[in-house]
Amino acid sequence: MIEIESISGNEKALAGFLADYLAGAGLTVQLQQAAERRPNVYARHGDPTVVLSSHTDTVPPYVEFHEDGEYIYGRGSCDAKGPIAAMIKAAETLIEANITDFGLLFVVGEEAGSVGARAANEIPNRCRYLVNGEPTESKLALGSKGALKVALKATGRAAHSAYPEMGESAINKLLDILSELRAAVWPTSDRLGATTMNIGGLRGGVAANVIAPQAEAELMFRVVTRTSELKRMIESTVGVRCQVQYTFECEPVFTEEMPGFDTAVVAFTTDIPMLSNWGRPLLFGPGSILDAHTANEKISKFELAHAVGAYASMVKRLIEKPPAEPA
Ligand SMILES: [Zn+2]
């Protein structure tokens, strides 16, 4: 799978490979066009009450497959082709054990806008549990933080820097706002921990001898409570001093627990919020998010093999589990 390049937008060849492989393994396969030449793959064994799900796309640039005794390397090895491989092998062991009513759902575009998950959410199903596969170091996630991307745009009035009283510096204004935001106390959650803020971009001004007429900053918050609460706090700190725009937002997710697994909270976002029609979510996968998106992306062969059994046992237990109370 690593040898089939599938950078977001170019998932078709990998989807074709998965569809053929899964049909050969005895599953009923459906390709859903999430966008032009971007098929999601949905494979069923019976009428699924549990699906194992992940994404077929990767971030750029492509990194070639290689391996040593301990690891498999290459783009997608842990995010998320390793989890996909473990899910497929788990499905094969379940079929061999005559277990039915589960499915596999592999969507396009997780790394860029979740177009695949949004389309997949329209597929009719009576699924009760969704096991999402992302690299969680083989721990069952208790939840994942949400995200809020914010653009701050300050405007001032240009003037000769020798006569600052004739102008108004947008940069000074923005720096004041940013230092207040850095000092602010953001919401925390018992389960997900602290809200964090990153100032990831800063631009402004014209030249050293001109009072800056404009300045802007791009921030990313990792969210542990409702984004609406955070927005209120940001707006009350900023006031009318600059323009606030929200360019991306995603609510935090609280996932199901299951005895017998090590647990963790993850700070990255997943397709789970966009797959709300697939039942209550769990999040588990081999590999580390710290290797994902790097030139040295890798997955441990030991962890990969272990994940096969973990996914199979989750599916078995969730199929037998009585329907959960509505959230
Ligand atoms: Zn991923």
Distance 55 CA to ligand 1 centre (A): 7
**Across all residues in the chain, what is the average pLDDT?**
95
pLDDT given for residue 267 in this prediction: 80
pLDDT given for residue 205 in this prediction: 96
Distance 134 CA to ligand 1 centre (A): 5
Asked whether residue 307 carries a pLDDT value surpassing 80, the answer given is: yes
Exposure of 213 in the CB half-sphere (CA atoms within 13 A): 7
Asked whether residue 169 carries a pLDDT value surpassing 70, the answer given is: yes
d(CA 192, CA 265): 6
Residue 21 bridge partners (DSSP): none
Distance 203 CA to ligand 1 centre (A): 30
SS percent in the chain: helix, strand, coil, step 5:
30, 30, 40
∠212-218-221 over CA atoms, to 5°?
Answer: 145
Q: Which of 102-106, 119-123, 262-266 has the lowest mean pLDDT?
A: 262-266
pLDDT given for residue 322 in this prediction: 72
For residue range 71-99, list pLDDT tens digits in order: 999 999 999 999 999 999 999 999 999 99
- Contact (CB, 8 A) for 325 and 56: no
Residues with CB under 5 A from ligand 1 (ion): 79-80, 134
pLDDT given for residue 314 in this prediction: 97
For residue range 205-240, list pLDDT tens digits in order: 999 999 999 999 999 999 999 999 999 999 999 999
- Contact (CB, 8 A) for 40 and 32: yes
Tokens read off for 283: 């999040």
Distance 41 CA to ligand 1 centre (A): 16
> What is the C-alpha end-to-end distance of the chain, expressed in Å?
36
DSSP class of residue 272 equals G
Q: Provide mean pLDDT across the span 53-68.
A: 97
Say which residue, 257 or 180, is predicted with more confidence: 180
pLDDT given for residue 13 in this prediction: 98
- Contact (CB, 8 A) for 147 and 249: yes
Q: Which of 8-17, 38-47, 148-157, 258-267 has the lowest mean pLDDT?
A: 258-267
pLDDT given for residue 168 in this prediction: 95
pLDDT confidence tier of residue 324, bands split at 50, 70 and 90: low
User: pTM for this one?
Assistant: 0.81
∠54-89-28 over CA atoms, to 5°?
Answer: 70
pLDDT confidence tier of residue 269, bands split at 50, 70 and 90: confident
pLDDT given for residue 326 in this prediction: 57
pLDDT given for residue 239 in this prediction: 97
Exposure of 278 in the CB half-sphere (CA atoms within 13 A): 29
Amino acid at 319: I
Distance 217 CA to ligand 1 centre (A): 27
pLDDT given for residue 113 in this prediction: 85
Q: Provide mean pLDDT across the span 288-315.
A: 97
Report whether the peptide linkage leading into residue 80 is cis, meaning its omega lies within 30 degrees of zero: yes
Residues tagged active-site: 110
Distance 109 CA to ligand 1 centre (A): 10
Distance 246 CA to ligand 1 centre (A): 23
pLDDT given for residue 325 in this prediction: 62
Report long-range pairs for 316-324 (Cβ below 8 Å, ≥24 apart).
316/94, 316/99, 317/258, 318/49, 318/50, 318/128, 318/129, 318/131, 318/282, 319/49, 319/50, 319/99, 319/101, 319/102, 321/129, 323/128, 324/128, 324/129, 324/256, 324/280
Phi and psi angles of residue 274, each rounded to the nearest 5 degrees, phi first: -90, -5
Residue appearing with tokens 């078995």:
316
